[in-house]
């Protein structure tokens, strides 16, 4: 059975992403922190890792990108999860019985309007699935949790209200990481990290290597370079495979212009979830797994 490492406990949104991508017949391997996820694959305790890298509301997951640069796992695929926050409570609890809601601070912030509308006091917890697990293990009157539908199923809690997030476009992008590169796919995306030289027009020249070849950039973000104060690195995503002639030429040009380049991987691009008569669905690229 395929083993996939993730950060969190059973019922986390990362585990939902695992099941969405790999199917229900998968062995999820929980890790306490993101820093423990990467060694789980490197040491053979898991075949893949599922790592959140970007949320449509909250932005990039900084530590995930730092680890991608520090470690040597390859991006095998990407998947985009529609994050649906559920209000969970003990069986038999009514909405009017509630006064407090526990969850991860980010989940509480993403459901702020709903909580305010119903006069519910938010209480920060370590994570979403953990708040559901703790509520099931230590019941308290008037207390609910915000977590996934999977957490409701695993911990025997009722969904009092589904989809309570303030924004329906609350999606999280995940990378599937592996020791190996994936097979070529019809629609491919490439991710890399680079640092430009400290001189006028350096970044312009680096990006021009892609623009002059008609390569579409889908993401660029700068982060401080941890070992060199006031210097920056850039995370870049573009459409295409690094072995495509134009992409290979652009990367060679980038190597000549930059002071540092690391290729994170070329992988099948996920299709963003879209609305279809009020129901949400996602189509993943065809990845052999």
Q: Which of 79, 93, 128, 172 is catalytic?
A: 172
Q: Which of 174, 175, 210, 234 is catalytic?
A: 174
Tokens encoding 190: 């490439």
Q: What is the spatial distance between Cα 256 and Cα 260, in angstroms, rounded to a whole number?
A: 10
Tokens encoding 281: 């669905």
Which of 144, 77, 154 shows the shortest CA–CA distance to 107?
144
DSSP H or E run through 172: strand 171-178
Which of 11, 9, 2, 12 shows the shortest CA–CA distance to 30?
9
Which one-letter DSSP state was computed for residue 18?
H
Q: Is 236 helix (H, G, I), strand (E, B) or coil?
A: strand
- Using DSSP bridges, classify how beta strands 217-224 and 188-196 pair: parallel, antiparallel or unpaired: unpaired
Our answer to whether residue 272 is catalytic in this structure is no
- Cβ atoms within 10 A of the Cβ of 145, count? 29
Our answer to whether residue 172 is catalytic in this structure is yes
Integer-rounded Cα Rg, in Å, for the chain is 21
Q: What is the spatial distance between Cα 185 and Cα 192, in angstroms, rounded to a whole number?
A: 18
For residue 189, the cross-strand partners are 239, 267
**Active site positions, annotated:** 172, 174
């Amino acid at each position: 059975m395929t083993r996939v490492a993730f950060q969190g406990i059973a019922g986390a949104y990362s585990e939902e992403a695992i099941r969405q991508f790999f199917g229900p017949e998968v062995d999820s391997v929980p890790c306490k922190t993101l820093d423990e996820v990467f060694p789980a694959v490197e040491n053979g305790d898991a075949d893949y890792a599922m790592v959140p890298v970007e949320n449509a509301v909250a932005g990039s997951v900084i530590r995930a990108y730092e680890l991608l640069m520090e470690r040597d796992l390859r991006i095998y695929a990407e998947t985009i999860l529609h994050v649906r926050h559920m209000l969970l409570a003990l069986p038999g609890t009514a909405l009017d019985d509630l006064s407090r809601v526990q969850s991860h601070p980010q989940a509480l912030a993403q459901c702020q309007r709903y909580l305010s509308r119903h006069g519910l006091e938010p209480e920060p917890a370590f994570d979403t699935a953990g708040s559901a697990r703790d509520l099931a293990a230590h019941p308290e009157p008037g207390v609910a949790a915000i977590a996934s539908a999977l957490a409701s199923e695993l911990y025997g809690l009722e969904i009092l209200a589904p989809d309570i997030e303030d924004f329906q476009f609350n999606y999280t992008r995940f990378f599937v990481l592996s020791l190996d590169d994936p097979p070529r796919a019809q629609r491919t995306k490439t991710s890399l990290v680079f640092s430009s030289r400290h001189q006028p027009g350096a970044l312009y020249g680096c990006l021009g290597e892609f623009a002059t070849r008609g390569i579409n950039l889908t993401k660029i973000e700068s982060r401080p370079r941890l070992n060199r104060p006031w210097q920056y690195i850039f995370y870049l995503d573009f459409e295409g495979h690094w072995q495509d002639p134009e992409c290979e030429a652009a990367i060679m040009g980038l190597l000549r212009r930059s002071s540092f380049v690391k290729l994170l991987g070329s992988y099948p691009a996920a299709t963003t979830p879209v609305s279809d008569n009020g129901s949400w669905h996602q189509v993943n690229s065809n990845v052999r797994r």
